[in-house]
Amino acid sequence: MKVDLSGQVWAQFEQAQTRAKHHLDEGRSEEAAAEYRRCANLLRQYSQYAIDASVRKQRLERAEKFDQLAARIQSGLMGQAVSESSALDDYRETVRGLVTKTDVGWDEIGGLEETKREIQTAYALALARKPEGVRMRSPRNILLYGPPGTGKTLLAAATSHELDATFFNVRVSDMLSKYFGESSKLISALYREAGAQAPSVVFLDEFDALTAAREGDESGAERRVLSTLLSELDGLDNKRKDEKHYVLTIAATNIPWQIDKAVISRFGARLIYVPLPDEAARRAILEIEIERKGHASEVSVAALARALGGYSGREIEAVVGHAVASMVRRTNPDLLQQASLGREALAAYTLKVGVLTVADFESAQMAIRPTTTPKDVARFELWRQQIEVE
């Protein structure tokens, strides 16, 4: 049986790094260089556990840097002035890779009027100038919870766009699996970069992946990630307290009850429920998906909104997409033949569009079924009541 020793290797690496820094502080260059070499070797070992080729490469490159650092210390060029910040800078590129462009406007989100207002109030409180002598705690953390496909990502993107902020799009589960033992440093680097590029929105999707230490967390990596994140959410970094360095964290989850109580408490009153769309919201989403995308329909959006009870925004989008595809196939019977003629023929061919019919929507509704059950909804409602009294 192959045993995963990556946690141990990582722990050894961290110990070597601590020793290296200590030697360096005390002016023992020879010993420091030796420990940095050890760091390099351990990182090379550690890189073999990476599943992702790009992560492996990143670790190998970092190992290389430790070797260079060791060489420089030995040659006495840097003397006491050597800092480790170059090693932390390695994360900077990774963190910058999380920056995503968003141009989602509030008007592209159907319904959720109250939710939008709550988010807007949060950042307005934080960003508006306070009268002389008045101090207020302004909200910096928001948790959006609710069934999948209800617009949580959209809301975060629209907030960022509205604030003209740098949008850091982080899927917590990916981060934990890709960077494992390094996740905690990555979070520090993330918030450092967000502060530097402020105003920023840090979007932590699938936030529930960050639960307290699970079994098998021998290296303590997950616990470390959690405590790093908690201190970032507490905003202990003084620089970020003023408006010039505004960093808004928006976390999102479909399973809020799996999140640690200690973590939930960091969000104070900013726990915002993003429910399945009600009839008015479904109608608003349908208008966005049908009318604003230039389609004509023989079924009114009002009738469709009534028929699609229990569907999430994403599912409504899929229903319309399915109906549009049926219509396109019907109105362009020669499309496949055109496709066989190659790209040039296709570029010269203009699609014919027709009216979306009752049959188009009926088959779409048969193909796409809502996945969130009334029981699921009840669970969200219950959790909501629970946190309100706790």
Closest CA to 368 of 324, 303, 302: 324
**Is there binding between residue 288 and ligand ADP (CB under 6 A)?**
yes
> Which CB sits closer to ligand ADP, 119 or 221?
119
Which residues from 233-272 bind ligand ADP, rule CB under 6 A?
252
248 touches 158 (CB < 8 A): no
> Which CB sits closer to ligand ADP, 288 or 327?
288
Helix (H) or strand (E) holding 249: strand 247-253
**Is there binding between residue 153 and Mg ion (CB under 5 A)?**
yes
Q: How far is the CB of 52 from ligand ADP (least distance, A)?
A: 24
Count Cβ atoms below 10 Å from residue 187 Cβ, excluding itself. 26
Give every CB contact of residue 174 below 8 A, 6+ residues apart in sequence. none
Give every CB contact of residue 141 below 8 A, 6+ residues apart in sequence. 233, 248, 249, 251, 266, 267, 268, 270
Report which residue type is found at 221: A
User: What are the structure tokens assigned to 224, written together?
Assistant: 């470390």
Interface pattern 299-338 for ligand ADP (x via CB under 6 A) = --------------xx--x---------------------
The interface region with Mg ion, picked from 78-86, 93-101, 145-153, 324-332 by CB under 5 A, is 145-153
> Which CB sits closer to Mg ion, 146 or 181?
146
Give every CB contact of residue 237 below 8 A, 6+ residues apart in sequence. 191, 195
> Which CB sits closer to ligand ADP, 7 or 151?
151
> Which CB sits closer to ligand ADP, 32 or 155?
155
181 contact choice in Mg ion, ligand ADP, none (CB below 5 to 8 Å, kind-dependent): none
Count Cβ atoms below 10 Å from residue 3 Cβ, excluding itself. 6
Instruction: Give the footprint of ligand ADP on this chain (CB under 6 A).
Output: 109-112, 148-154, 252, 277, 285, 288, 313-314, 317
Instruction: Give the footprint of Mg ion on this chain (CB under 5 A).
Output: 153
